[in-house]
Structure 1
């Protein structure tokens, strides 16, 4: 009688003899499965990880299609990416509430929000928004458009529709070695990340955000293609270093997002509530300073 649990992405195992054609099918199917596997959990529980994993699945799908579109110019592929983005955006407010609430309890209010003056009404306002956001999120999952999205991707896979995107003289790419293709992609994504982070940590927030996106795409590609290289221990270490960098780079964005989030809560002009809000935003600001102090070393280790 337990409620369905949120699910992370299934580890993708690609055989050494796989072709480019096989690779496309395996990666897209893996991301779609990850997305659909978390529907039941969102419908039947309030587990914050459900919304998070749904959004991660959609980002993974968009990232994979973004990689493949270098070789596949196909309107249907772009339609899938666009719809994935729309659904992820609709789920965003629920995730924003979960992240804010979790950070508040793990950080400034970790001793218990009842110990911090003004914290209770602040978090009550967050919880009220969270309930409304989850109602919207469940409507998104139950919307026929979302079911049609999944069916469209399944149809795309069943028809191997990407084959029609290649000119006759390029059809040989379909039977080319997946490992060689993966190595080229991983090298390209790594070079892009190194270029965007060349002057780290002395780059503005906008460029940090672009670097974070580049690292995220690199990490997803390593997760998708890593099994082709049979170096699991090294891959785990590499993925951890990339994830750590992403987290530190996201500190500035988290602080800016938290400020806007608090401003839009419609909090009463109560001194205690305003104090708690300021205390919380100060914690976010401090987190950016801590992240920046680690950034140079983590970037050096990554390079």
Structure 2
């Protein structure tokens, strides 16, 4: 059994060992193919991020999240002692990439909303102030991305992924047929989402915003777990993801309002005249409330029995 060894950032990494493929037609083989595909995409997006290409940081985060979600959702197919360190490296990588992506999203959202406000609500030079604020944050975030991609943590992550693919810690369940085993694992992830949604849909929950965020993360994990199974299951899995789309979109918009309001408070406190930021804050707060009211209906539509008949 191999161990996850650190790769010094000052030395070039050796070429990765040949990848294992798993037993043909098995659940493990399908999982390994998915992990290999998104490990390659992670590497490609890292190179694009180094040259500051559009959407590269976003895709870096998406692919790291896909890898982490697959490793978490398909834990029954993997030895946890060997897979969990890789999950932790991916989780930390996502945290280190988040400032750059969050800055991109917030700048686009807030500048766009300011541009749509009537002139009589734009008190003071708020647009110029916002541009300067995000220029500074963007420069800091860009420096952080490059430091991470050139640092030891990312080198350790790449080495860990290469080791896992060359010597995968598959369990006995991984040798079972993919057509029966993958739907069973997705069903387990789906039940986890259903539990999270109960808390998110409870209007009496004093921590509802946190509950909605937890449901959002569970929904993403389910979507990525279903992606793993889709080549084997086919159209039923694709329809299942499509049915969840409206619910997931609402969860994502709710989280966007939470993050945006924190930034709007900061901008309002720093600006000479924060009135416009207060207007945007109020609109986002109202939008979050409307989404919370809509969630039960969206969930009912997404969770139709016919959409999930393929789950076991």
Structure-to-structure mapping, 1:5-154, within 5 angstroms: 18-47=25-54, 49-110=55-116, 116-117=122-123, 118-154=126-162
**Deviation of residue 33 (structure 1)?**
1.8
Give the number of aligned pairs: 275
**Change in 2 beyond 3 A, CA 1:216/1:250:** same
CA deviation vs aligned residue, 1:11-54 (integer Å, no higher than 9, x gap): xxx9xx6212312311221221221121122111252x211111
Q: Distance between the aligned counterparts of 1:301 and 1:50, measured in 2?
A: 34
**Change in 2 beyond 3 A, CA 1:269/1:148:** closer
Structure-to-structure mapping, 1:1-303, within 5 angstroms: 18-47=25-54, 49-110=55-116, 116-117=122-123, 118-160=126-168, 162-163=169-170, 166=171, 171=172, 173-198=173-198, 200=201, 202=203, 203=205, 204-231=208-235, 235-264=237-266, 268-271=270-273, 274-303=274-303
The secondary structure found in structure 2 opposite 1:185 is helix
**Change in 2 beyond 3 A, CA 1:80/1:148:** same
**Deviation of residue 209 (structure 1)?**
2.0
**Deviation of residue 264 (structure 1)?**
4.7
Structure 1 gap ranges (5+): 1-13
What TM-score results when the alignment is normalised by the length of structure 1?
Answer: 0.80
Q: Distance between the aligned counterparts of 1:149 and 1:121, measured in 2?
A: 38
Q: Distance between the aligned counterparts of 2:150 and 2:215, measured in 1?
A: 35
Alignment root-mean-square deviation, CA: 2.8
